[in-house]
Amino acid sequence: MGRTPGCNTDGLKKGAWTADEDQKLIAYIQEHGEGGWRTLPQKAGLQRCGKSCRLRWANYLRPDIKRGEFSTEEEQKIIQLHASLGNRWSAIARNLPKRTDNEIKNYWNTHLKKRQAEEGTALVSRKPFGPSSAPPDAIHESSECEPAQPQPTSLRPASASAQLLNKIAAKLAPSTCLETLKTSQSLQTLSTEADKEVVDVHIISNTCQSEPPPSLAVRSPDMPRPVSTSARILNKMAGRLTTHLHCLDTLKSILSGSSDNHNFMHRSPSASSLSETASDMSRSISTSNGGINDQMPTHNHLSPLIDSFDLDLLEDWNGVSDCGVSSSSLGDTYNGWESPVSPLNNNNNNNNNALTFSGCESMGTCSGEVKDAMTTETTYESEMTFGYQDASDQYAQYFTDGFSNFFIGDSHVVSACSGDSHEGKVFEEDTYSWNNGHLFENYQPLDSHIF
């Protein structure tokens, strides 16, 4: 099996490895360890190039390689990780112990991709993700990765959170990050009203569960509606903002003063409203946090924040969970790992301006410049690899714009639409009634917030 030994340049052998060659390679590495691939062949008495030796070892001979059929759990994990990470096989492999990137890649190409494509054909129609048009091939590509979804039987209002996410998506387009978002989530087109393009974003699988979802493909009607990704994202934003109480009050005041009916979700905020909101927020934060941000920015924060949005950060953020974007709560578990106590609740934590990944979210690499979410001040620069074991790493995120598209109440839930759920609670059609004064009256606020 394998390629033909078609080239013997420099006397180097190519093609399938013999048992004798394998033994030589194993013996050498057992004695000298891995590395030094360039000189290894000569030292080991192999007529191979170093690259070939490394590949043979990494993909086949390594003792900690698990071969054979993929379990259902492994399949699901590959699907989920691929939705988040794309074809980053090495990154996927790092989350599948004893499986090599090559094996996963092959398995995807020969099994899962085909299956995904078949299931993807069940999607009858779909709007592009966000106002910006993605390339047609990109859309097609994403459909290959998307599981089939039952189409909504009737149009329902797009959630406010989805509108915000649309803005984020538009900002990211046509970056690879957007592609990541597209492939990581199932898109349901929910409204085609003439004067607005809205796309609600929902994940199919629940997130941060102790057990992987049974299937990404089909959700039976009697299963609870999955947690809205958009709501989760916005939850995080709200959780971030709850550290700035004045800011919350300002927002609440602004928002409540400009909304008087149940259609608040459909209204787009005026630019001036957003600007005022941002300014008020920055003032509030500046004056209420005891010098966290000594330098008060004099401009509207929103644009520069968005401009400085680190795409890699979001991409990595997508990649850190099993479904792309998610949140975790205290005690949530994923693959046996449990979220630790939130550093946000830790009085000794001085870095109040940083958001914190915890528990199941912490898996991946965040690199580049990390800035404060509200002031754009750089809090630190470096690459940090955070794994489960580094669950308390600080991690700043930027989510701005569209503030009046989500709603901040006493709880951390900032937006909900019919069927949205949070902490296992599914919102009914009208639970977000604005005029009630309590945004989510059926919602039980969290005691603490974990980012």
> Which residues here bind DNA, judged by CB under 7 A?
1-7, 13-17, 35-38, 48, 50-52, 54-56, 59-60, 67, 87-91, 101-103, 105-107, 109-111
Residue corresponding to tokens 């194993």? 26
Find the shortest distance in angstroms from Cβ 198 to DNA. 31
Q: Which is nearer to DNA, 113 or 156 (CB)?
A: 113
Q: Which is nearer to DNA, 62 or 283 (CB)?
A: 62
CB 369 within 8 A of CB 332: no
Find the shortest distance in angstroms from Cβ 317 to DNA. 17
In degrees, rounded to 5, the angle at the alpha carbon of residue 65 between the alpha carbons of residues 61 and 71 is 140
Q: How far, in Å, CA of 343 to CA of 254, rounded? A: 30
Find the shortest distance in angstroms from Cβ 311 to DNA. 14
Q: Which is nearer to DNA, 1 or 124 (CB)?
A: 1
DSSP bridge partners of 370: 380
Backbone angles phi, psi at 394, to 5 degrees: -80, 145
Q: Which is nearer to DNA, 54 or 240 (CB)?
A: 54
Find the shortest distance in angstroms from Cβ 103 to DNA. 6
Q: How far, in Å, CA of 242 to CA of 389, rounded? A: 27
Find the shortest distance in angstroms from Cβ 35 to DNA. 6
Q: Which is nearer to DNA, 55 or 218 (CB)?
A: 55
Find the shortest distance in angstroms from Cβ 81 to DNA. 11
- Encoded amino acid at 100, one letter: T
Q: Which is nearer to DNA, 294 or 383 (CB)?
A: 383
CB 155 within 8 A of CB 417: no
Alpha-helical regions (H) of 187-332: 229-241, 245-256, 271-288, 302-307, 311-319
Find the shortest distance in angstroms from Cβ 88 to DNA. 3
Residue 209, number of CB atoms within 10 A of its CB: 17
Find the shortest distance in angstroms from Cβ 15 to DNA. 5
- From the CA atom positions of the chain, what is the Rg in Å? 25
Enclosing H/E stretch for 384:
strand 384-386
The total number of residues written for the chain in this structure: 451
- CA 224 → CA 122, 158, 220, 221, 228, distances in Å? 21, 19, 9, 8, 11
Find the shortest distance in angstroms from Cβ 243 to DNA. 33
Q: Which is nearer to DNA, 113 or 196 (CB)?
A: 113
DSSP bridge partners of 200: 188
Find the shortest distance in angstroms from Cβ 395 to DNA. 19
Please enumerate in sequence order all residues whose Cβ is within 8 A of that of 412, keeping only pairs 6 or more positions apart, or say none.
235, 238, 239, 242, 445, 446, 449
Find the shortest distance in angstroms from Cβ 181 to DNA. 18
Find the shortest distance in angstroms from Cβ 182 to DNA. 16
The burial class, CB within 10 Å (0-12 / 13-18 / 19+), for 263 is exposed
- 3 state SS of 198: strand
Q: How far, in Å, CA of 365 to CA of 355, rounded? A: 15
Q: Which is nearer to DNA, 144 or 338 (CB)?
A: 144
Q: How far, in Å, CA of 249 to CA of 445, rounded? A: 17
Q: Which is nearer to DNA, 50 or 340 (CB)?
A: 50
- 3 state SS of 46: coil
- 3 state SS of 366: strand
Tokens of 333: 């578990």
Q: What distance lies between CA 435 and its chain's CA centroid?
A: 33
Q: Which is nearer to DNA, 115 or 283 (CB)?
A: 115
Q: What distance lies between CA 60 and its chain's CA centroid?
A: 31
